[in-house]
Homo-oligomer: A and B are copies of this chain.
Amino acid sequence: PMGKEAKLAIGGFLHLQGEWGDAPDARFPVGDRFLVRRARLGVKGSFVEGFDFALTSDFGSNSLGTVSGYRAQITDAYVAWSRFPAATVTVGQFKTPFGYEQLMSGTKHIVIERALVNDQLTLRRQIGAMLSGSVGGPRLTYAAGLFNGNGSNNSANDNDQFTYVGRVAGTWIQTDAGRVSTGINAFTGRDSGSFSGHRRGLGVDLQASYRRLELQAEYLNTCFDRAIGRDYTAEGWSLLGSCVIIPKLLQGVLRYEVYDVDRDLAGDTTELWTVGFNYLIKGDDLKLSFNYLLGDLPGPRAEEGRLISRLQVVF
């Protein structure tokens, strides 16, 4: 470290992917390919004064689409003042508190790709400020923040108005055998950039585990009050179950999800099945995953399948 009293750790992870088949939903291109899905590298550190910071970046595709000319871009760049666990202040670029699956690190996912609805209707990383904390032990957590609303790696706020985002989550049962948690989150924001108008999002999620079984459910919905054009509401949900087949070694997963681009229109809904397994060579640090996706896309296209393999290395 060049500063005097900061602790500094360097690290990152690689997501190397091979894919075969068609496009089960609109995020994927058609055809076989290899890609560097994510290549993260960065530093995290802390000061004894209660300040933590992170500067991490992605050098890979950082997208499911076809990205050419990968270039390094910040994922996280924030400073958090966490002296009081009940009221941590975070400023910079980081994940907005909206969407359970979005908030979970990509290295902890048990399905290779996030649900379509989660990818489409969350705000991902934004630049802004947030107050968060845990109340009554670690049982209840909250987060509330304001952000430019114009995405990550962008120093513009298109219209002088911020996007407000909040989330409350609680763990209701926690025993040796299992755990039940729920979350609710919402956002509201006015923008005049790639989307022009007023967006309001709402989401609820549930996670439960019992011995070798795990269940995750999430519903998300966003109303787009457009400045020009008809208003519409997009919504979707996903239901994910997993089962440890061999402890610390093999895990099976199954997910069903639905995403409706416009609730008032027929024929624009994607239904998607995912079945797969994770082979934990060394926990999450060295993990090989295979997922088969079968999607029923809108339009005349028949069901389309895709086999995705991912090697994850966390270092």
Contacts and interface: CB of A to CB of B under 8 A. Distances in A.
A6 B57 CA distance: 20
A60 B74 contact: yes
A16 B315 contact: no
B59 A57 contact: yes
Contacts of A159: 31
A166 to B, nearest CB: 17
A10 B313 CA distance: 17
- Residue from the set A11, A67, A68, A155 with the largest chain B CB neighbour count within 10 Å: A155
A127 B77 contact: no
A253 interface: no
A45 B79 CA distance: 26
Interface string A63-81: 1011111111110011100
Contacts of A5: 282, 285
Contacts of A150: 68
Nearest to A162: B32
Interface stretch (A36-44, A95-103, A115-123): A36-44
B14 A11 contact: no
Contact of A16 (B9, B18, B79, B161): B79
Interface in A115-169: 127-129, 147-148, 150-151, 153-157, 159-162
B127 A44 contact: no
Interface in A297-315: 311, 313-315
B14 A68 contact: no
A176 interface: no
Interface of A: 1-6, 8-14, 16, 18, 29-37, 39, 41-45, 47, 49, 51, 53, 55, 57, 59-61, 63, 65-74, 77-79, 91-93, 127-129, 147-148, 150-151, 153-157, 159-162, 281-283, 285-286, 311, 313-315
10 contacts: A1-B9, A3-B285, A4-B285, A6-B315, A12-B55, A14-B92, A47-B285, A51-B286, A68-B156, A70-B74
Q: Which 10 A-B pairs have the closest CB atoms?
A: A2-B11, A35-B155, A33-B157, A31-B160, A72-B72, A66-B156, A70-B153, A3-B314, A61-B155, A6-B315
